[in-house]
Amino acid sequence: MRPESRSEGKGPWFLPGVATACLLALGMPGHVGWWPLLLVALVPLLLAARSVTPGRSARMGFVCGLLYHLSLLYWILIVLGRYGGLPWWLSLPALLLLAAYMACFSALFCWLLSLVAGSVRRRGRSVALLVWAAPVLWVGLEYLRGFFLSGFPWMDLGYGLSGQPRLVQAADLGGHHLLSFCLVLGNSLAVGLLLRRGRTGRGVFRGERSLLTLAVLLLVGTFGYSLARYQVMAGELPGAPQARVAVVQGNIDQAVKWSPATKEATVARYLALTGPMLREPKPDLVVWPETALPFYPQRDALINKIVDFTTANNTWLLTGAPLVNSIARAEGGEQFQFFNGALLIGPDGKVGGTHAKQHLVPFGEYVPLRRLLPFLEPLVVSVGDFTAGTSMAPLELASLRLGLLICYESIFPDIARESVSRGANLLVNLTNDAWYGRSSAPVQSLAMAVLRAVETKRTLVRAANTGISGFIDPLGRVSARTAIFTEAALVAPVAMLDQSTVFCRYGYRFGLVCLLLIPLLLVFRFRNGR
């Protein structure tokens, strides 16, 4: 029997994938979120991927990804079933399809890793190749998943450290992808040292020890930078310019949110919650969540009640609202565009600026390929047909320059980075997490928002309809937060920084570099395999 056959025949082939999926599910933010598990979670998968054929490795990776993403994305059933009105026999397949799509990336990772650094076809392969190939492949595919088919970078591995401010500051160098890289590198280094320890003839691979030492130095240097950066910034923040900001969480039931009969009660609730926040010292800005106004302000006289409130209290209000724009047709008549947007109303009652969401939710705010697939037209009626905004310019009031992230735009680093590059000194995330119910999704959404603050070194203010609302400082510390499904209002001083981070200038390319290195790894493998 061939050596590889004996290796592949030890135990059920899917067990390493199941083990890694369980460790990741327990380690990532959510119901458990015990982050130290992430330091070893990938070890079973990496060990197995090295010792089996690429085909079997891919199947194992798919099982791992499928189980992990089912545990991560189970809230899709709540979104589609409870609030979307779909029966279980449609919402369950939708969850399975999304999890299977995500699992394709982990399958591709395992296939490539086995192909590039596996030992089945070539027993004498250096463990250093596995140690360095694993993080490059993982992060390159993470980056690809972030934009392929409009992108869905939900809970990339680096977000698992979001609750540890002292460990994540290196994100201002290479973004959350750098944290993912280091976590995978730590796992692959542990595997490499285990394999090296059990092998004779350690000096046979030239430079192997140096490459393993370099991996150790990179990990020590990255997390050493994080610790030092944390100490420096913690000392600087108290002396930074401050603004007082209030966030209001209306806790409006999603089932009645868009009912015309309840829109006046919704506005009354927000005004009642906001009033006590306006006592001295008065906040510089009040923030309401995504679509806090369940009507088009340009078309509804109810907006006058809000304008009267801002003028009477001499305050600035930023609120989420659907917006409409009319465009004159060349042949006559009008064409209307609808946006998921935000409205800034000043103390004089005038509109100080508007902003439209740029990254829309597929099949939630627009239907992809609508013109090519006319049979999807009925779906447009049920989910809406919003137009994506194009401007990333901050909204300005006094010394505040607001970079807006509406809904799940907070999971896309480039939107926050571009806003800061255009001058934003405060990030504001308006969202409606009511869709998620009492699941782990609001916790995961908050975890991803934390990294936007750290990467850009900007305070992030988060206003959510049903929570979690709160304040995240430039170090990623959540200074105040609400519980979910409660009415709440918070006010706090926030730091306004203007410094530009390495991530904002160059570091956002880190994931792209890893993706471009994948073809080079394949070339290296095939040249060495001859």
Q: Is 504 a catalytic residue?
A: no
- The 8 Å CB, 24+ separation contacts for 231-236 are 233/169, 233/457, 233/474, 233/475, 234/475
- 303 and 400 together in one domain: yes
Q: Are 273 and 190 contained in the same domain? A: no
In a domain, 77, yes or no: yes
Active-site annotation holder among 64, 110, 182, 407: 407
Please tell me the distance from the alpha carbon of residue 476 to that of residue 222, in angstroms, as a whole number.
Answer: 17
- What is the arrangement of strands in the sheet containing 470-472, beginning at the earlier edge strand? 395-397, 400-406, 426-431, 460-464, 470-472, 478-481
Do 93 and 220 belong to one domain?
A: yes
Is 110 considered catalytic here?
A: no
Render pLDDT for 484-512 as a digit per residue (tens, 0 to 9): 999 999 999 999 999 999 999 999 999 99
**Domain residues for 87?**
13-198+206-236+508-529
State whether 171 and 291 are in the same domain: no
Residues 218 and 269 in one domain: no
User: What pLDDT, on the 0 to 100 scale, is given for residue 7?
Assistant: 46
Residue pLDDT, tens place only, 7-59: 454 568 889 999 999 999 999 999 899 999 999 999 999 999 999 999 999 99
Number of domains in the chain: 2
Can the peptide bond before residue 347 be classed as cis, meaning omega within 30 degrees of 0?
no
Please give the pLDDT value at position 371. Answer: 60
Given the residues 357, 409, 457, 514, select the one marked as catalytic: 357
CA 423 to CA 396: how far, in whole Å?
10
Residue 227 belongs to a domain: yes
What's residue 375's pLDDT? 46
Please state, rounded to an integer, the average pLDDT across all residues of the chain.
90
In a domain? residue 26: yes
Amino acid 529: pLDDT: 59
Catalytic residue, chosen from 142, 208, 290, 455, is: 290
User: Does 289 score more than 70 pLDDT?
Assistant: yes
Rounded to an integer, the average pLDDT of 140-165 is 96
Q: Do 187 and 258 lie in a common domain?
A: no
Residue 186 has pLDDT above 60, yes or no: yes
Q: Is 290 a catalytic residue?
A: yes
| Residue range 116-139, pLDDT digits in tens | 998 755 555 788 999 999 999 999
Overall average pLDDT of the 177-190 stretch: 98
> Do 260 and 217 fall into the same domain?
no
Task: Give the range with max mean pLDDT: 87-101, 385-399, 457-471.
Answer: 457-471
Q: pLDDT higher for 7 or 519?
A: 519
- Co-location of 226 and 255 in the same domain: no
Residue 502 resides in a domain: no
In a domain, 1, yes or no: no
Q: In the block, which residue shows the tokens 């904002």?
A: 504
Q: Are 459 and 420 contained in the same domain?
A: yes
What pLDDT shows up at residue 384? Answer: 59
The yes-or-no verdict on residue 200 having pLDDT over 60 is no
- As a whole number, mean pLDDT of residues 295-324 equals 95
Span 159-169, average pLDDT: 98
